[in-house]
Structure 1
C-alpha cells in the first residue's frame, strides 16, 4: 500500500477529458440504473462522471476494479467501505465540482462550496452553529465559507450530520485573520482533530471555491490534486453503460 491518504478536486463539466461511456464502465449496475432514471441528460452525465471519479480514486488505493468496490452508508449518511473497514472516504459536490478524499486508519470529512454572496451571513451560520458570535463579523466570504466548510467537513468526519453534530464542533478565528480554524470536536475521542481550508480558482471561469478537509490526528496529511482526474486502473468494463443517456447527451 503506497498512499494512505489522498484527495482530488475535479471539474465535472464536459470537456475533452471525459469519455462518458468509459465512465459508465466504472459503475456497478445499480448506479447505471440510477443514472438512467434521471430525466435531465446533463444531470445524468454529471452523476456518472462523479461516481466514476469516486470509484477510480478508490480503485487506485484499494487495488480493486472500480465497479466492484462496495459502497454503503451508515445511519447518519456517512459513506463506508464494507470490505475495507480501515479505510475512510468522504466526498462533496457543489454544482459541477467534486471534492473526494480517502484515508487509511482514521476518519476524514470534506466539504466543497462555490463562493457566492450569502445574506445575512451571520444569520445563516447561526442556524447550525450557536457560537457564531465568537467568530466576530462573518460577512466576508472567506470568513463565512471557511467556517461553513469546516463545520460540514467535521460532521461528515464524525458521521453525526450537520443538524446534530455542528454543536459539538469548536471553531475559532485567530487574531487578525479573516479565516476561521478548527479548534476541536467535543465527545469525539481523545485523539485531536485537525482541519484545513483552501481556496481554489476554477480553470476557465471566474468561479472560486472553498474546500475543507477534517481528519482525526495530525499524521498522513491529505494532499488534494486539483483539477486532475484519478488514474483509471487497468480493469475490464463490467457494467453496462446507459446508452440512452449517452445518446441524449450527444444530441443535446
Structure 2
C-alpha cells in the first residue's frame, strides 16, 4: 500500500472537526513498506525502541497517517509536516500552533481528530477480557460511578467502565494541561446517549469542553472531545 488510508468517521461535533479511524497493517515492515515512507528519521528511531513489532506499527502507523492527513490540510508533502510540543508537552504542528490534532491507539485500531479552529481530544480503548475494573477504580471513577456500576451485571459493568474511561481521557486530552486532580474527579456515568454529560459539578478547566461517544469496532470504546470556543474567539 502507498500509505495507510484512514477511514473517515461520522460524529456529532462541530463540522470543522474531522475524525478518522486507522486499521493497522501488522504484517508490514517499518523498514521497507511504502506505508511508512513519510516517517522522519527521529520517528523511525522512536519506533525502533519498541520491543514488540505491534507497538512499533501502532506508533509508526498513527504518525504516518497523521502526516498524510495534515499534509492535505497544509497542502505540503507528508514528509514536510513538522511537529513541536507546547508548554505542557502536548504535540502540535510547528507550522501552525492554531491547527490542532490528537491521536489515540490500542489493539488493531487508532483514532485521529483534526481541527483548524479548536482544540480536540480522542481516546479509544480495547476491552480486555477478564479485566478487573475495580483494580483501578480509585484512579479513574467517581464514588457515585462505582456505586452505579456495582448495580449492573458483569457485561454492562465492563462496557460502561470503558465508556467512562475513554470519555474522561478525551476530555482531559482536550484541555492540554489536563485536570490536576485526576480522572476520579470527573463523573460521566450513567451514560444516557452519545452526548457526554459531566455530573456532580463541572471543573473549571472543563467548562469549555464538550464530548461525544462515537461508534467503535466490536470490543472497543471510543470518544471525541472538543473546545466549544474556537481559537479565534479566545483572548
TM above 0.5, yes or no, is yes
Looking at both structures, which has the greater relative contact order when contacts are Cα pairs under 8 Å and sequence separation is at least 6?
Answer: 1
Distance 2:27 2:165 in 1: 30
Name the TM-score, length of structure 1 as normaliser.
0.68
Contact 1:20 1:48 in 2 (8 A): no
The corresponding residue for 1:51 is: 63
- Cα separation, partners in 2 of 1:164 and 1:54, compared to 1, 3 Å: farther
Secondary structure at 1:127's aligned position in 2? Answer: helix
Q: Does 1:66 align with 2:82?
A: no
After superposition, what is the alpha-carbon deviation per residue over 1:34-77, rounded to whole angstroms, capped at 9, x for unaligned? 23444544543443222111111211222222122122233544
CA RMSD in angstroms, aligned pairs only: 3.3
Distance 1:198 1:190 in 2: 21
From 136, 146, 153, the counterpart of 2:170: 153
Q: What is the count of residue pairs matched by the alignment?
A: 208
Question: How far off is 1:186 after superposition?
Answer: 1.6
From 180, 183, 186, the counterpart of 2:203: 186
After superposition, what is the alpha-carbon deviation per residue over 1:199-224, rounded to whole angstroms, capped at 9, x for unaligned? 423xxxxx5211100112299xxxxx
After superposition, what is the alpha-carbon deviation per residue over 1:132-155, rounded to whole angstroms, capped at 9, x for unaligned? 447711652331111110011011
Distance 1:165 1:77 in 2: 18
Contact 2:139 2:184 in 1 (8 A): no
Structure 2 stretches of 5 or more lacking a match? Answer: 1-14, 231-235
Secondary structure at 2:110's aligned position in 1? Answer: strand
Name the TM-score, length of structure 2 as normaliser.
0.72
Contact 1:158 1:188 in 2 (8 A): yes
